[in-house]
Amino acid sequence: MIGNDWDNKLSVIWNSDGFKKFMSIIDNEYNTKTIYPPKEDIFAALKNTPFKDTKVVIVGQDPYHGEGEAMGLSFSVHDGIKLPPSLKNIYQELKDDLGYEPVKSGDLTKWTKEGVLLLNATLTVVKDTPNSHSKIGWNLFTDYIIRVLNEKEEPVVFILWGNFARSKKELITNKKHLVIESAHPSPFSARNGFFGSKPFSKTNEFLKKNNIKEIDWNLN
C-alpha cells in the first residue's frame, strides 16, 4: 500500500476485512463524485515520511476541498496554488519564531523529507464540502497511526493546532514524547494563542535535547 516500513506497522489494518470494505466505499466515492486529493495521493503523508524517520507529527483535520489544492499532506498545497489563510499564518509564525521569510509556494514536501509527518485525521473530502468524509471511518485509521507512533521508542513531537487536533492528545500517553498544542492557525483563532506559540523552535529544542537531528524548517 505504502512502499516503506508503514506497510509492516499497519499490516493488521491492510489485511482486515473492515478496512477492505471501507476502501471499497472510498473507491465508490471516487467513482461517483469529485473527491480530493487525487486517489494516488490519499496516503502521501505515509509515503513521504516512513515510520523510522518520523520525528514530528503535525495533525490536520481534513484535506483542502478546493480544486487542485489537496495533495495528501496536512496544511500543504501544490506549488502555484494560492496560499490558504492558515498556511499564511503558519509562515508568519515560522518567521517570528525562527526568522525564515515566508515563501510563495505552499508545498511542504521538504518538511516531510526532514521527518515531519503531515497527517490529516480524515484523508479524503468531497469537492467544496469541508468535513464531508469526517464521519465515514478515516479517524479509526489515523488514530491507529497515532497510537503506533505513541509506541515508538525514539521521542516524537506531536504538534496539535486547534481543538480538533488537541482531541488527539488522549492517544499520546508515552511520557518520552512531547506534545505542543495551541490555537489553530486559522484567521479566526490565530491571535488567540497560535501566534507566539513558537512550535518550530520548541520542537528543535526538544529534539536537540534528545540527541536527535533537528528539523530544517527553512522552505527557501
Flag whether 86 is in a domain: yes
Exposed e or buried b per residue across 182-197, where buried means at least 16 C-beta atoms within 10 angstroms of its C-beta:
bbbbeeebbeeebbeb
Cα–Cα distance for residue pair 109/198, rounded to 1 Å:
21
Q: Which residues pair with 116 in a beta bridge?
A: 56
Flag whether 216 is in a domain: no
- How many structural domains is the chain composed of? 1
State the residue for C-alpha cell 484567521: 187
For position 33, what pLDDT does the model report?
A: 98
Q: Angle of helix 199-209 relative to helix 85-98, nearest 10 degrees?
A: 50
Reading the block at residue 58, the C-alpha cell is 503535525
Flag whether 69 is in a domain: yes
For position 183, what pLDDT does the model report?
A: 97
For position 73, what pLDDT does the model report?
A: 98
Whether residue 62 lies in the annotated active site: yes
Catalytic option among 62, 79, 107, 143:
62
Contacts for 178 with CB less than 8 Å, ≥ 6 apart: 155, 156, 157, 158, 202, 203, 206
For position 180, what pLDDT does the model report?
A: 98
Flag whether 1 is in a domain: no
The segments of the chain whose pLDDT lies below 70 read: none
Flag whether 200 is in a domain: yes
Flag whether 192 is in a domain: yes
Contacts for 72 with CB less than 8 Å, ≥ 6 apart: 37, 41, 42, 43, 44, 45, 63, 123
Flag whether 149 is in a domain: yes
Reading the block at residue 107, the C-alpha cell is 508545498
Q: What is the CA radius of gyration of the chain?
A: 17
Query: Range of 21's domain?
Result: 6-209
∠ CA 74-80-85, nearest 5°, is: 50
Kindly report the pTM of this predicted structure: 0.98
Q: What is the CATH number of the domain that holds 121?
A: 3.40.470.10
Contacts for 1 with CB less than 8 Å, ≥ 6 apart: 7, 10, 14, 43
Flag whether 110 is in a domain: yes
For position 28, what pLDDT does the model report?
A: 98
